[in-house]
Amino acid sequence: DWTMGAYREEAIRKIREQVGDKRVICGLSGGVDSSVAAVLIHEAIGDQLTCVFVDHGLLRQNEADEVVSMFRDNYNIPLIHADESELFLGELEGQSDPETKRKIIGKLFIDVFQKHANDIEGAEFLAQGTLYPDVIESVSFSGGPSVTIKSHHNVGGLPEKMGLKLVEPLRELFKDEVRALGRELGLPNSFIGRHPFPGPGLAIRCPGEITREKLKILRKADAVYIDQIRKHGLYDDIWQAFVAILPVRTVGVMGDGRTYDYACALRAVTSVDGMTADYYPFSHEFLGETATRIINEVPGINRVTYDVTSKPPGTIEWE
């Protein structure tokens, strides 16, 4: 794509001009935006960039390993993998209110990020994968819920607190342009096309109290569900798909025994921007097959439901 090729050259020139020979820190979430920003900046300034990947213990199956191996091994980008799952899950223990959970995660995320960033000597810049819609949103909905949504990833207020200047090379781009730029930079298609994943991660797909047991069950069920969606060639038709583990156990029968295990809800929606969404019209065959696989392959779940709520009035996530 010649347009993105030109954009890439221009963006690299601007980053070099802004940063000079100083060091840059970039927070990696594993999502497309921060990844494209990191690869672009690395191309511009090489080892002057260090990425910090905060692992809050609320990621999906194998996700942390995939991020680490892609950036550290594939791209050779200096990366600090901050495995802070004990800290996050400890602070979340006993908490069931959705906004409290988000606040705990958001605050810890900033603390942890700051702690690790402080170890990077001589850093003067903080890189963020802020997109054009984020810029608009934070202006027009200032103080509203959308700020909370973004406040986790785009660590608001942090640059000033740390005395860092911002580098935001994606500020003029829309999501599909970021994807095109990512392809231009050689990021694998499977990665570019990934569904969005919220900053608080599995915390908001585990309504009520989060426990290690529930997270373990949720990760497995989600992996089976996504595998089913990929196998049926549906992944790219869906905006976002995931499993939520419900805070309720229900009775079932398996073999000659009675079970008393968690129920889960499958969610899949189509959307353009996440602001409105329709539930995805899976076939009954697909749903039946998926339910059977989850119950057979995931100990701890004995009932599967499909969420047919659109947004509005529902939200995409369960919390």
| Residue ranges in contact with ligand XMP by CB under 6 A | 102, 149, 152-153, 196, 198-200, 204, 240, 274, 311, 315-317
Q: Which two three-digit tokens encode residue 142? A: 């200032």
The rounded distance, in Å, linking the Cα atoms of 52 and 153 is 12
Shortest reach from residue 152's CB to ligand XMP, in Å:
5
CA distance 67 to 26: 14
DSSP state at residue 57: S
Give the residue among 304, 298, 209, 295 at the shortest CA–CA distance from 247. 209
Alpha-carbon distance of 172 to 13, in angstroms, equals 15
CB of 254 to ligand XMP, least distance (A): 33
Contact predicate 43/14, CB 8 Å: no
> Of 19 and 67, which has the nearer Cβ to ligand XMP?
67
State the minimum distance, in angstroms, from the CB of residue 204 to ligand XMP.
6
CA distance 241 to 266: 8
CB 101, CB 319: distance < 8 Å = yes
85 appears as a binding residue in the annotation? no
Q: Which is nearer to ligand XMP, 102 or 303 (CB)?
A: 102
Whether 182 has a binding-site annotation, put simply, is no
Half-sphere exposure of 115 (CA within 13 A, CB side): 12
Least Å from the CB of residue 78 to ligand XMP: 25
Q: How far is the CB of 117 from ligand XMP (least distance, A)?
A: 20
CB of 199 to ligand XMP, least distance (A): 3
Q: Which residues pair with 303 in a beta bridge?
A: 263
The verdict on whether residue 31 carries a ligand-binding annotation is yes
**Close Cβ partners of 219 (under 8 Å, ≥ 6 residues apart):** 60, 61, 202
Residue 175 near residue 56, CB atoms below 8 Å: no
Please, which residue, 120 or 192, has the CB nearer to ligand XMP?
Answer: 192
Question: Nearest to residue 53, comparing CAs of 84, 88, 28?
Answer: 28
Kindly state the smallest distance separating residue 166's Cβ from ligand XMP, in Å: 19
CB nearer ligand XMP, residue 175 or residue 311: 311
Please indicate if the annotation marks 35 as binding a ligand: yes
Cβ nearer to ligand XMP, comparing 217 with 241: 241
DSSP 311: B
In the complex with ligand XMP, which residue's Cβ is closer, 184 or 317?
317
- Decide: helix, strand or coil at residue 220: helix
| Closer Cβ to ligand XMP, 43 or 63, answer by number | 63
Q: Which helix (H) or strand (E) holds 139?
A: helix 132-140
Binding-site annotation: residue ranges: 29-35
**Binding-site entries for ATP:** 29-35
